[in-house]
Structure 1
Amino acid sequence: MAMADNTSDSQVDFLLEVLQAIADSNGDQQVVEKLLEANIDKLNQTLAEKLRDWATSKLAEAEAGEATSLAANIVEFSKIVAKLPLGDKASNREIAITGYEVALTVYTREAFPFDWGLTQRNLGNAYLNRITGQKAENLEKAIACYQLTLEVRTREGFPVEWAETQYNLGLAYSQRRKGQKAENLEEAIACYKLALGVRTREEFPVEWAKTQYNLGLAYSQRRKGQKAENLEESIACYQEALRVKKNEAFPRDWANTQNNLGNAYSNRIKGEKAQNIEQAIACFQQALRVRTFEAFPIEWAQTQNNLGNAYINRIKGEKAQNIEQAIACYQQALIVTTFEAFPIDWARTQNNLGAAYGKRIKG
């Protein structure tokens, strides 16, 4: 498909080159990524604006077949740039959003229901991960896109895609700023459970574990129901996730799950308090095997703070030694959690450290 145009604009020329490469390579991701990586400086907000102006005009005057082909290439470009690891991620996602929105002027629900639904899902993903704009508004747009997707990509017709959209909708509801937090979490839980109806451990182990993890997170934050029961559900979900998310294969996911499982045990109401705290300490220590200061300083500091909280509440062992351990953990956390970078977390950790010194037996 020829992408000739009568413009001398360098940004538009680059856009035409990319779209031509997509057409010539049949959407080969490696070919397109190589071209994008060689022109990272052109992937900016200006390109998003040029894409909207040029494509809107071009699609309006194109014949039906040409418009459909061009829309398909724009969608491929948007999918690739949205996931591009290089360049400015905020700009990359703005370009992707623009591409999907422009393509939807061709991919209408009436004429192209399958492509319309797929593009709505991709647009929802882009809004879910959008960096610019108001987070609350971005999440509302993501939710709206996913809900539209589910109108055509049903469980009966597209079970795998339906489950993925339910999962993403759950992520959006769990982060939602508008509405009642309690209701949003109920929506998230419902979406994750629906997704698990298709995402079984046997057929989709990785997706199953990921959904279990996020379901555990939602239960840990749940406002409705009995707190004790919600924490039991959360613990069960994290433990299920760990059946697949092993340290060897998924070290960072494993560490995140261990950290969250530690938090759940720290807050657990059922069972022996002393044993729950021991479980929490063990989980945090496991997480720190991956969450090192060198590799993941922010996560390392978070876990150090959590571990400090567990030691300060520890029932087993020598109280004096437990307090010393807590102080050491808080001091470690403050290496990363500085006033300048993380003022709220810094204040919280300073408060915890002060409380620990207030209880200190040694010294």
Structure 2
Amino acid sequence: MVADQSDDQVRAALAAAEDPAASLGERAEMLMEIAMGLQRRPKTADALWAAIELYDRALALADDPLLTARIGARRGTALQALPAEGSASLDAARRAFEAALPTLAQFGRPEEVAEAEMNLGVTLQNLAGLGRARLTDAIAAYQRALRTFDQRRFPAEFAILQNNLATAFLSIPMSDERAKMREAMAVQAFEEGLKVINLVDHPVEYAMLQNNLGNALQYASSAHAVENNLRALDAYDEALRVRTRADMPGEYANTLANKANCLWNLPDDPEHPEDGNPRNLALARAAYAEAREIFAGQGEAEKARIVAEACVQIEREMLTSVPPARGSGNGHSMNSGA
């Protein structure tokens, strides 16, 4: 059903589609362009459904295989973005990308093929989380996209693909002997992405990679946990240069909660971990409290609940733990955070 808030744009699109002075292909392209406009920063799912309706009308008019493939790939991105429960929209997006790719590869531009491969990879990765696809297929799609989206000509796309590859590596169950290798590959992928983008030119991608690098370092199964946590803190602080409470409150709260968890598990003095971490516990509690306030204000009830529980656990730990005297040989017991 067409969204009320999108009525004017949709009516304009439908009028353009009926223009007898335009060819079928031109009318289909007009519908596709307006659908893409509806799809940019949609406030509700209604705008996405309206875009899908226009893509369907465009497909009915398209009289050229390449145009049909382009419209189909765009339709796939709208299906992919739907916040629907279950896998129906993701399954449809997968079919749309897989149907479009052979024609794009034969007649389209290399960057069109790479974009479709990247979007297919995202769809497969999301379906893998539902048990309906393999993560290895998502990784393969990302790697195919990297043949075109290289770091020199397409730094932003390269960085996003490195981020997606890393998150895919980390999503594979860590139950085999290659788990540590995949963790190392994920950290390397985040770092590769950060080599080609910067805070000024690509602030959103920069913050995303820094936040995710921090998570990868913090949760890596390594003998160098303290060193990794210190590196993770630096990465979170870099992300927070972009993810401010004023401009990006949701992302700010996510990174702040990640930083709080890292502080919770970090001794105040890395040279003397036996002295405990009362200072870092206090910082973690304050960060969790701020994140909880933001999550609650944005209606993110589950996230607010998780960080609220972390606050309670930290408060209990602060009340009951007494750091031993240096040299006593008993380390401070630190719980894992939320």
Range class of TM-score, shorter chain? 0.7 to 0.9
With 210-219 and 171-180 compared, the bigger mean Cα shift is at: 171-180
| Residue 78 of structure 1: how far off its partner (Å) | 2.4
Q: Any residues of structure 2 matched to 1:296-315 within 5 Å, and which? A: 296-315=248-267
SS in 2 for 1:337: helix
Q: Deviations over 1:69-119 (max 9, x none)?
A: 433332333233333x5x855343323211221222233xxx621111111
Look up the equivalent residue of 1:80 and give its one-letter code. G
Cα deviations across residues 183-202 of structure 1 (Å, max 9, x unaligned)? 43222111111111221112
Please report how far the alpha carbon of residue 55 of structure 1 lies from its aligned counterpart in structure 2 after TM superposition. Answer: 9.4
Alignment partner, residue 77 of structure 1: 34
Taking a change above 3 Å as real, the CA distance of residues 204 and 291 of structure 1, as seen in their structure-2 partners, is: closer
**Which segments of 5 or more consecutive residues in structure 2 lack a partner in the other structure?**
270-275, 323-338
Structure-2 residue corresponding to 1:24 = none
Judging changes above 3 Å, is the alpha-carbon distance between structure 1 residues 76 and 322 closer, same or farther for their aligned structure 2 residues? closer
Q: Which residue of 2 aligns with 1:358?
A: 316
Q: What is the CA-CA distance between 1:211 and the residue it aligns to? A: 1.0
Q: Report the Cα offset of residue 147 of structure 1.
A: 0.2
What is the CA–CA distance in structure 2 between the aligned matches of 1:255 and 1:174, rounded to whole Å? Answer: 21
SS in 2 for 1:291: coil
The one-character-per-residue Cα deviations of 1:207-235 (angstroms, maximum 9, x if unpaired) are 11121111112222222653322221111
Which amino acid is 2:134 matched to? N
CA change 1:316–1:219 in 2 (3 A) is farther
* Shift in alpha-carbon separation, 1:42–1:203, aligned structure 2, 3 A: closer
- CA drift at 1:310: 0.8
- 1:165 pairs, out of 116, 120, 144, with 116
Aligned residues: 312
| Aligned: 1:147 with 2:98 | yes
Offset of 1:41 from its aligned partner?
6.8
2:284 matched residue in structure 1:
326
How far off its partner does 1:51 sit?
A: 7.2
TM-fit CA distance, 1:157:
6.0
Give the residue type in structure 2 aligned to 1:126.
A
Q: CA deviation at 1:343?
A: 2.0
C-alpha RMSD of the superposition: 3.3
**Equivalent position amino acid for 2:296 in 1:** T
The share of aligned pairs that are identical, in percent, is: 23
For 1:3, the equivalent position in structure 2 comes to none
CA shift at 1:149, angstroms?
0.7
**Uncovered stretches (5+) of structure 1, i.e. residues with no partner:** 1-39
Structure 1 runs of 4+ with >4 Å offset: 46-52
Within a 5 Å distance, the mapping from 1:137-216 to structure 2 comes to 137-154=88-105, 158-176=109-127, 180=131, 183-216=133-166
3-state DSSP class of the match of 2:105? coil
The verdict on how the C-alpha distance between 1:91 and 1:112 changes in structure 2, with shifts beyond 3 A counting, is same
Check if 1:96 corresponds to 2:59.
no
- Do the aligned residues in 1 keep the contact of 2:16 with 2:30 (CA within 8 Å)? no
- Equivalent in the alignment of 1:43: 6
AA of the residue aligned to 2:31: I
Shift of 1:263: 0.6
Aligned-partner residue type, residue 146 of structure 1: F
The one-letter code matched in structure 2 to 1:311 is: L
Per-residue deviation, 1:166: 0.4
Quickly say closer, same or farther: Cα 1:156–1:303, change in 2 above 3 A.
same
In structure 2, how many angstroms separate the alpha carbons of the residues matched to 1:304 and 1:79?
Answer: 33
Code of the aligned partner of 2:155: P
The Cα of 1:156 is off from its aligned counterpart by 8.6
Q: Do the aligned partners of 2:226 and 2:266 also contact (CA within 8 Å) in 1?
A: yes
| Equivalent-residue separation in structure 2 for 1:203 and 1:155 (angstroms) | 22
Q: Tell which deviates more after alignment, 269-278 or 138-147.
A: 269-278
